[in-house]
Structure 1
């Protein structure tokens, strides 16, 4: 075997022996770090060692490694650790000047936990496939002159087509290329020679050149990281206090909830037709944006978040909107309970849905491969790594400010260099913008509720702590505006939404009162006296006469005309008023017919009668059979909230109990595989074999001996295990199984072999 060639068989045996020597707690840690290794549960350490070396599993484990981790893997590879033992001393010497000895030890512990490195300080070994996971070429040219990003950018703009073509080819394929122009005596005007002279290529030999790692990254648009820099980028000190960050986040959360509530109202009043592809059309998105007085970009994010939270869905709403569309986007039946929840809970639902969403809302509006704008709620927005990328960037914001997206991008790439290709500038800026709108980030920093949400804490309680306390008073102004100096208590907020429109929102909300808003409150059954009492009781400023006159004037005209159900009826205390209605064109539209001087009836529904009369300039009020005013405000369309299909997010770490059972199973499997025996009997179903099996098992019961049995379960899976027989009879063996830590029953005819264990 050639020097440095990995010996797969001996390497696997070496890894299995090392695993067997580990403590149970150590095995628990590595099985938690590599959950894919335990599905299905491995029977022995040899099986576990084989899985740990498989390419797909190694690449999955390497996704969580940092640039420093890969630097150690590269150094081990150069020292030959894939085929022979390497000492810690040699490794530390190879990394001197790039990592301290303490850092090397911490990284080795981390790599051992991920089963990419095994062995002691005097005999370190590296899983061969781990070398392939390094996100740069192991064995690259080192020591050559390096260019900074500005130099590279300037030089790239000065290249001709031939030179740029060489670089683009190497960036798309392999960084190492073969050429006849790499020799020293080649014509200096050749493209390769010009690139070598500029430092955009490195020479390996007379026929081989290499594209520098950073040049390739810039050509591919990847996030920057330097393979030679194995220390993390320094954190950027915060400029604001935690209180400032949380206060701003609280204001953003209230804005988010207000805009989401408005959007749900708009969609409830007029559901948006769904595209044939399932998304939301550009025209419909623009309509929603205009209603909210927000940009299309902001509205697209709100729609995506509400859909992710299950508050907006696609289907046939009830009531069904007019038009020939098959499906619509509308609020779901879950909306009403969400709207009735406390603000902190409503925020946690939205922010949690965004954090876990496998979608990238910032893509909406960009051009796709067919040069068409990407639609909101379309499949084009889905990306399988969106949630992982989002969590990484938020982790980085705990140490770096989002005010400098380039620094955030570089820090994220250092932490996860294998993700550099997807950490584009748009990804970073778009994610920070979304996190700021969702109140997870403020002033470029992660807020306390954001940290709790990211790390599995009580985000709802954290948000409740930073939200301003609801107030129970308002300030009525002479110009018929009302200022709420903070979030209002629920009952007062509901009354203000009836009697006034929001004119501006923020730390304080400004409402505007007018004829239409007062009439809206009266339509719900509130009387003029109740409105006067509302402002008198809750206003910290004197109620202006202009507001008192407005309420009295609207109330005087409101309800003089009454409409009920006949299908509908219209009645008035003043016969002259009813005569005026019957003489108006609206009477013909509604087919009104007088049945008394003060009563007329119509076959039109009550809601239609009220709408038509109001459109004609009258001020009718709906009433029930007792004459009480009815609140006929539309509740909005709703679609059924379908239960979301569970999304596969990769192998999940087993529980502590499962891990303990797995470790016991591995130990028992190793004992069964290596245990010597005094006798061996095949239980093949024959008369002699069955009798011998029974005799040996009964002997084990009487002598309290352990046995090594071969067993085939109901699914046809063959295993070997060491058990302690308790009783034999009725076609079953009851035995204590150390792997399961319990007494189990085994069907005798499924036992393929039995051997006493010394």
Structure 2
């Protein structure tokens, strides 16, 4: 247990090295910039900004114990919370570790800034003394019973919710007057306020109805193997959607809006192409963008394109691709759920726009995932439980009634495969723990199959997730018709021509399909491939402006006569040769778009399987990490602790001479130390600049600090002085 001390600063100085290390680990803001000695550390730990940050990290039970300490003192905490004394003592010790309370001779006391920040602890009003009224708490319960029904209803609504109320109208003012006359409230300019002592009495001597009881954990538990199987299936589905999105934008890149982002029309087109809801489509786009797989190409009229990182990502194993997306999701400050909603200006928030960014989303994801992580394996966490736990773990950041976005985080985690069937998956747990999430997902992914079943109706059935090589072949030569436990592919003239355009001969395509199929290649499919192969490459394109040649005169005449190709300015110079001033690549692309099957040839007449160039956006990585503080690890803490001890030793040596050394302190630190001295009724040494501009020192007993001035007695006598804060150069405890 911590020993008693004269003041908050003495409490900090009396801590052991291990206790100081624990404090610096829990409140890392105290280490940057490094304080000169323990007195400076105590002053910084007592500042309002640092205390506010520490309070925001408290759970509801810790905050309630602290509120009870502020309301009733150290002896009444257990009674006010209706909690075991042992549990309260353990929580108070944890709060002492955080330097939010200190051990006085009378027991634990809250740090000076705590009551100021809490304002209305446990939603109670000011004390009767602060309001200037008589304490009527002893008669509060009896007075409440004698109220009229309307006044009793009003006091019941205020009892647990808020100490203040305003009353408009004659009947409402009558209720106000009745409550004031009964001694249950004090009048204010616009209504009433219930004194703190009366509020506690009306609650039966308790601050909260549920004391220190956290929300009840859910009881639904699934087998972890079932959870991982569901998560693996979702992960594969996400990988397919990201790849389909990139291939679509590679072929038809959408424009970047002038205001940034993606148009609503293009967003809906992606949702249709991916067979997804607009919300899921927005998530796929945003997660690919966060992982650096998509970006603007930087042209004068920019478009959205896959980046060079996408090619590396697409070549990796499925589990590694999933891990890249999961880590990007965990680290990004973007909130895909905002896409499609109304902005503050009244417009629609576009996907990929700056309005989709929400800095708190990263912390919210971590909070939700840690709630799932703390449950037993396979436990299904409903949105209601997760929402309640967020309020319990972050009561100051998320007061009751504040939206938590828990349902959005859980939905994204399910789409990503971090959860499966509502429970945290093994890969998701590895992601939170910082272990190898890719290896965990590799074990959770369904076993890939190396075959398909070709059907006579020009379809093929994949009875499960395909191996990478076979999946790419089927994606190239066929179109996906339906997905589920099995995937149905359909072969069309366009899909077969797409495969031939890459330089794959028709005979080789049939051979690959024969090797991959457990059923013979159906005759209709063989005829389709051979017929497309026979017509594919008949028309040859070369560089002259460019030329087209085809031994089939009728086919070449049809090309020249096609009005859709008039921009190419085709001109026949021989029965089997046509020339065009357009670039060969333009001619090749345009003929393919209109159903012809040309190939390019070199100067020697051999076929050049150039295919399409894959346009790419510049390499990018979203700076989602935002502003990060310098790391404060154990090495930094040990170095800082050595410096603090050395600073204290120097100060002790100086104090043995003509009083303590008074280093210059920041005005904020000066003000905090003087306020602490007033609260503790402790003397301090101050350095100050007199009216002649000379730097002097004196022993000062401050009694009041307000309005930029400190008033108290100086020296050993009762000579009273007032010092301006800006003239005080430094303060150290006496």
| Residue 42 (structure 2) pairs with residue 61 (structure 1) | no
Q: CA deviation at 1:127?
A: 0.8
1:622-641 equivalence runs, <5 A: 622-641=600-619
1:535-684 matches, cutoff 5 A:
535-582=513-560, 584-585=562-563, 589-614=567-592, 617-642=595-620, 644-645=622-623, 647-649=625-627, 651-675=629-653
1:137 and 2:121 correspond: yes
Tell me the CA shift for residue 60 of structure 1.
0.4
For 1:235-246, list aligned pairs within 5 A: 235-246=217-228
Give the Cα–Cα distance (whole angstroms) in 1 for the partners of residues 7 and 638 of structure 2: 24
The Cα of 1:585 is off from its aligned counterpart by 4.5
What is the rounded CA distance, in whole Å, between the counterparts of 1:12 and 1:529 in structure 2? 90
Name 2:321's counterpart in structure 1. Answer: 346
Query: Is the counterpart of residue 176 in structure 1 residue 160 in structure 2?
Result: no
Helix, strand or coil at the partner of 2:7: helix
User: Hey, what's the Cα distance between the residues in 1 that align with 2:415 and 2:374?
Assistant: 20
Aligned-pair CA distance for 1:44: 0.9
Which deviations, in whole Å up to 9, do the C-alpha atoms of 1:208-243 show, x marking residues without a partner? 745999xxxxxxxxxxx9674312112102332111
The whole-number CA distance in structure 2 between the counterparts of 1:447 and 1:37 is: 37
Pairing 1:97–2:90 present: no
Distance 1:311 1:195 in 2: 67
Are 1:51 and 2:44 an aligned pair?
A: yes
Report the TM-score, using the length of structure 1 for normalisation. Answer: 0.73
Contact 1:180 1:206 in 2 (8 A): no
Distance 1:646 1:398 in 2: 24
Q: Offset of 1:315 from its aligned partner? A: 4.9
How many angstroms apart in 1 are the aligned matches of 2:646 and 2:384?
A: 53
Aligned pair in 2 of structure 1 residues 69, 677: CA closer, same or farther (>3 Å)?
A: closer
- Paired residues for 1:459-538 under 5 Å: 459-538=437-516
The structure-2 alpha-carbon separation of the partners of 1:384 and 1:423, relative to structure 1 and needing over 3 Å to count, comes to farther
What residue is the counterpart of 1:413 in the other structure? 391
Equivalent-residue separation in structure 1 for 2:168 and 2:587 (angstroms): 88
Name the CA shift for 1:518/1:384 in 2 (closer, same or farther; >3 Å). Answer: closer
Distance 1:25 1:576, change over 3 A: same
SS in 1 for 2:258: coil
- Residues 364-383 of structure 1: matches in 2 within 5 Å? 364-383=339-358
Match of 2:304 in 1: 329
**Cα shift at 1:575:** 4.3
2:333 maps to 358
Structure 1 residues without counterparts, runs of 5 or longer: 1-10, 81-85, 146-158, 182-186, 214-224, 681-758
Cα contact 1:265–1:636 (8 A) shared by 2 = no
TM-score computed with the length of structure 2 as normaliser: 0.75
Question: Is the alpha carbon distance of 1:93 and 1:54 closer, same or farther for their aligned partners in structure 2, counting shifts above 3 Å?
Answer: same
- Paired position in structure 2 for 1:36: 29
Q: Distance in 2 between matches of 1:556 and 1:492?
A: 25
Q: Distance between the aligned counterparts of 1:509 and 1:196, measured in 2?
A: 74
Q: Separation in 2 of the partners of 1:475 and 1:587?
A: 40
Correspondent of 2:109 among 94, 109, 125: 125
Q: Which range moves more in the overlay, 572-581 or 330-339?
A: 572-581
* Cα separation, partners in 2 of 1:297 and 1:12, compared to 1, 3 Å: farther
Equivalents in 2 of 1:192, 1:392: separation in Å? 47
Q: Is the 8 A contact 1:117 1:124 kept in 2?
A: yes
For the residue of structure 2 that corresponds to 1:502, the secondary structure is: strand
In the other structure, the counterpart of 2:9 is: 16
Q: Does 1:300 align with 2:282?
A: yes
Query: Structure 1 residues 309 and 616, CA, compared in 2 at 3 Å: closer, same or farther?
Result: closer
Distance 1:536 1:16, change over 3 A: same
Q: Which residue of 1 aligns with 2:702?
A: none
Give the Å deviation of 1:670: 0.8
Asked if structure 2 preserves the Cα contact closer than 8 Å seen for 1:524 and 1:629, the reply is no
CA contact (8 A) 2:453 2:462 kept: yes
* Structure 2: 5+ residue stretches without partners: 126-136, 142-149, 197-206, 659-734
Which residue in the other structure is 2:405 paired with? 427
Shift of 1:392: 1.1
Distance in 1 of aligned mates of 2:606 and 2:502: 10
The equivalent residue for 1:112 is 96
Quick one: distance in 1 between partners of 2:510 and 2:546? Answer: 32
Aligned residue-pair number: 613
- Secondary structure (helix, strand or coil) at the match of 1:419 reads coil
Worse-superposed segment, 329-338 or 421-430:
421-430
| Residues 5, 11 of structure 2: 8 Å contact kept | no
Deviation at 1:631, TM superposition (A): 3.8
Q: Report the RMSD for the aligned CA atoms in angstroms.
A: 3.8
Q: 1:289–1:566: structure 2 CA closer, same or farther, 3 Å change rule?
A: same
Aligned residues of 1:397 and 1:444 also touching (Cα < 8 A) = no
How far did 1:678 drift?
9.7
Is the 8 Å Cα contact of residues 73 and 131 (structure 1) preserved in structure 2?
Answer: no
**CA-CA distance at 1:310 after TM superposition:** 2.0
2:244 is aligned with 1:262: yes
Aligned with residue 204 of structure 1, among 185, 207, 211: 185
Residue 666 of structure 1 deviates from its aligned partner by: 0.9
Shift of 1:423: 7.4
User: Per-residue deviation at 1:116?
Assistant: 0.8
Q: Is the 8 A contact 1:300 1:376 kept in 2?
A: yes
Report how far residue 33 of structure 1 moved. Answer: 0.8
Higher alpha-carbon deviation: 649-658 or 412-421: 649-658
